[in-house]
Structure 1
């Protein structure tokens, strides 16, 4: 049954429609975020096992566009909230706020997908984890989620001016 998949799709659409009211260029930004997360999922697919999802949601091997959609929505919502509430902050402060907020929500999301049995860690990852957990999420999530999300957010920040310039042509 595709309850998880449909839930992620509906939640993503709802958040995008809400954020679209605040920022008209949200779709372009979301597209860049989606590409960044998809690249991240592709290159790190050996670290996790996404299982139990519908066959139509897998793009390539273990790369799942529903997981990508979920992470992309987390990132766009957190970035939008930071931009709305910390608009006067400097670029470095905003970057840190992005990473912190995405990491907090990401750890909760990781708890959900692990709890539902949708995500597991590969044997290579399990061998190096300390075994200490926050609920069912490994304590190492406190550094791997912010690190990976910093890479995706940097990708977005790098490509946004190019997307904005394309509109002005």
Structure 2
């Protein structure tokens, strides 16, 4: 079994990892930026190491989930944590996003949360676009064929214009993940809400799922659904409703049976419930040809499938990653709206 798993994984990891001098200098720039961010942000907010850890978890979850969409090459033999997902880029994005959030919160502390959230996204989009151009032109970043086939074909210095959508979705999900857990880090006093506004929660869930599905569209095709159900390219309202319904079922179960549990325990239970419901459904959709994963994603599989569901292990782990970002996004905005932050 180990031999069977070893060779596909080895083949997928067999890409150019040799860093050029410009790439080494770029990595040094990242390390310097991370060091500077710890020094500066430590004067702005407490518990920086914990905040950095939480933000990096959100960034890494996103990178692992979307790894089939792009390649990160030539960063050095020691620069990777999984396939071509680089920890150097992870800490770089983490420092940049955390810095933007904490500095905006400091200087615009009297603004409402939704206003500051918009400022986060605006600043980060303006900063990340030139950085994306740098990593592309250094030869670090390239895009999977499925991504190139799904975009408009309009490029600016090697970067598709769709980054104007991808970056806000990426940073929005990661920031919501961090901000949700920052309520725990800061032990913030929040108003307990007796009744959940379910209609509002479902709309937030639908928005989060739809935005994420549009972004990861190149990874998987949704086929055989009724033609009327497609709301954008191959994204089906039926599938969106299914994901939202599953999240809703988990929310009802948490509210009914687990509200006295700690927030971390409730979050983990929500992940377990949603994953347990999505796994067999995703398996059925794949087997019956409703969900067709792209060639790049399939090539990244090590060949091991989980018992019962028969899902590739990569999809099995990707589902709770997906749900972690979406559930945190929903709970963050519910908390903001309930507490009028």
Structure 2's unaligned 5+ residue stretches are 1-18, 188-341
- Shift of the alpha carbon at 1:151? 0.6
- Shift of the alpha carbon at 1:85? 2.0
| Aligned counterparts of 2:76 and 2:53: Cα–Cα separation in 1 | 23
- Shift of the alpha carbon at 1:80? 2.0
- 1:11-26 matches, cutoff 5 A: 11-26=33-48
| Aligned counterparts of 1:64 and 1:52: Cα–Cα separation in 2 | 10
Which of residues 34, 40, 43 is equivalent to 2:62? 40
User: What are the superposed Cα offsets for residues 7-52 of structure 1, whole Å, 9 maximum, x if unpaired?
Assistant: 2112211121111112122222111111100111100000110000
TM-score by length of 2: 0.47
Structure 2 partner of 1:85: 107
Where does structure 1 differ by over 3 angstroms across 4 or more consecutive aligned residues?
A: none
- Shift of the alpha carbon at 1:118? 0.6
More displaced 10-residue stretch of structure 1: 6-15 or 62-71: 6-15
Higher relative CO (Cα under 8 Å, sequence separation at least 6) belongs to 1
More displaced 10-residue stretch of structure 1: 4-13 or 51-60: 4-13
Structure 2 partner of 1:29: 51
| Aligned counterparts of 2:184 and 2:140: Cα–Cα separation in 1 | 35
Structure 2 partner of 1:142: 164
| Aligned counterparts of 1:145 and 1:133: Cα–Cα separation in 2 | 15
TM-score by length of 1: 0.92
| Aligned counterparts of 1:108 and 1:127: Cα–Cα separation in 2 | 23
How many equivalent residue pairs?
165
- SS of the residue corresponding to residue 139 of structure 2 reads coil
Structure 2 partner of 1:71: 93
Structure 1's unaligned 5+ residue stretches are none
Structure 1 partner of 2:229: none
Structure 2 partner of 1:108: 130
Q: Judging by fraction of residues, say which structure has more helix.
A: 1
Q: Is contact 2:97-2:124 (8 Å) kept?
A: yes
Larger of the two Rg values belongs to structure: 2
| Aligned counterparts of 1:70 and 1:108: Cα–Cα separation in 2 | 14
- SS of the residue corresponding to residue 142 of structure 2 reads strand
